[in-house]
A and B are shown apart, each in its own frame.
Chain A
Amino acid sequence: MNFLFNSGRTVNQGSYIDKKNSRQYQDETSCCRMNPIDAFRLGIQKENRISLENEHGSVVCTVCEDKNLPEGQIFLPLGPYANQLIPGTTQSTGMPDFKSVNVVVTLTTEPVAEVGDLMKACGGVKYEG
């Protein structure tokens, strides 16, 4: 299913901002908000995960229902999960297209990656300290 993808700040994401490798930060920033009707259409159950994919990348997220979101739109808090889907082009403004990017959402059984593993997939070396 196609969705318009949006990302932004949430107070929870902000409160864990100095603990990016924590479980709480991961849970908050990998939780995709979706309208309940869209969730129903996709056949999403509570513990399901979804894969968000577009030409820039893909990421696995959990789902939480948010009736305040219009149908056809999804939202992820600002963070490394959201940024897997954002292109590096800026239309010569310096500012990437963080909002209003399109993604395809499908159900998946893949696990949600830890922040360190996301970075490892980018070519980094996970720091466990």
Chain B
Amino acid sequence: MKVEDAICAFCGCLCDDIVVEVTDNQIVSVDNACSLGSARFLEDQENRLKGPIRQEGGEWRDISYDEAIDATVSLLLEADRPLLFGWSSSATETQAAGAHLAELIGAVIDSTTTVCHGPSILAIQEVGHPGCTLGQVKNRAETIIYWGCNPIDAHPRHMSRYSTYPDGFFIKNAFRDRQVIVIDIRKTESSDIADIFVQIEPGGDYAVLSALRMIVLGKGSLVPETVFGVAKEQLLHIANLCKKTRFGALFFGLGITMSRGKHKNVRNAIELIDELNRHTKWTITPMRGHGNVYGSNEAFTWISGYPYAIDYSRGIAFYNPGETSAVDILRRKECDLCLIVGSDPGAHLPHICSSYLAQIPTIVIDPYPNATTHLATIQIPCAINGIDAAGTTYRMDGVPIKTRKVITTRYQCDRDIIHTLYERVKAVKGHE
């Protein structure tokens, strides 16, 4: 059976043209997906955790779902300062359930945004976000800039679906009518296919952005001969291209959010785009990593008012990244329980955080054994968004798409698991 227009929820591209061939409830082939998506669909079943597992006294054993839920409920009730982390692979229905659970138990809830595009959000909160949906780029953009990101590796179909390669309503021949500029501290596969590659010395993004802004503002005479390894001639050339193009789209990634300056780098980029909008049309879009990390920002926001790092311990929604963000809470050893949904902090957070996770009750809701499994107390496998569960997922540009379920398994959707935990905890708290 062919499932057409299936959605791959691996990365922020959220490609929705995947064709999945299913025979006897097994995925046998996948078309249109990149290697990341193909691996996600094809290698799924062999990697799943068969059932819940629990670690006690240095030993792992298989347990029942009932025992896993019972134990998790007890731990949640006992915790004084729980942290609910992850969420970026779950559908918004699950993320919303997580936010309500956090309200109920006065937890801190945070998603992987915190170590990815959190700084982008901080910048947006300072200066706003002049953006658009990806179809605007496809149909109109003559100039594409990829800054501090390597789409060929991290978002493999981005260029072919949305930016560099596809023809659009106003771009009849993308190959001829579009130019791609890659700006990075190192050469990558993406820079190899660019029309122009600008190599910046590490830590130089802020200064280069400032230099471009100066030139666009007509104050180019103030720019020195080189800025962090970039020649002034090249900066003048780029700025001129940007002012003359009919429509430009800037995409940026962790190269800017993670390096020195962090959200100030992003702010500078946004302000450059604001300035360019006085001359022509430009938009800026963060290359969101996980398939539904933007969904976590959306759901957390309409419920709490804030996109991530929300602390409910005071009975209000309280937001202060740096204080209420997962890495800082774990580093300060402040939480006494961590519930992790669809994410792998053991692999992706600094090891001081991993070490602390090993010391506190850590419950993981994730279909696969991963790095965090070795740090966990309990792991409960669940269904996967876009494979054996369907749900609302937000693409990197904010467009919401509903994934399709292509196979049926006995795994529960993580939304149902969170609901069960919520109802069980509420029942106990109601009697207090």
Q: Which positions in A face B, CB cutoff 8 Å?
A: 4, 6, 8-11, 14-21, 56-57, 68-70, 73, 75, 78-80, 83-84, 86-100, 115-116, 118-120, 122-129
Contact = CB atoms under 8 A, between A and B. Distances in A.
B40 interface: yes
A16 B39 contact: yes
Given A14-B154, A94-B114, A100-B203, A119 B371 contact: yes
Given A15-B36, A122-B351, A92 B322 contact: yes
B188 interface: yes
B374 A120 contact: yes
Interface residues of B, number: 78
B260 A100 contact: yes
A12 B47 CA distance: 17
Given A83-B347, A129-B49, A94 B259 contact: no
Contacts, number: 207
Given A119-B374, A123-B375, A129-B60, 12 more contacts: A11-B154, A11-B156, A18-B44, A68-B188, A86-B351, A90-B322, A90-B327, A95-B114, A98-B258, A99-B259, A119-B375, A129-B49
A56 B369 contact: no
B293 interface: no
Contacts of A17: 36, 344
A87 B49 contact: no
A21 B254 contact: no
Given A68-B188, A95-B115, A127 B322 contact: no
Interface in B184-211: 185-188, 202-203
Given A18-B39, A79-B348, A8 B53 contact: no
B35 interface: yes
B186 to A, nearest CB: 6
Closest 5 A/B residue pairs (Cβ): A94-B325, A92-B322, A123-B358, A119-B374, A88-B331
Contact of A127 (B55, B188, B254, B260): B55
B58 interface: yes
Given A98-B254, A100-B202, A14 B122 contact: no
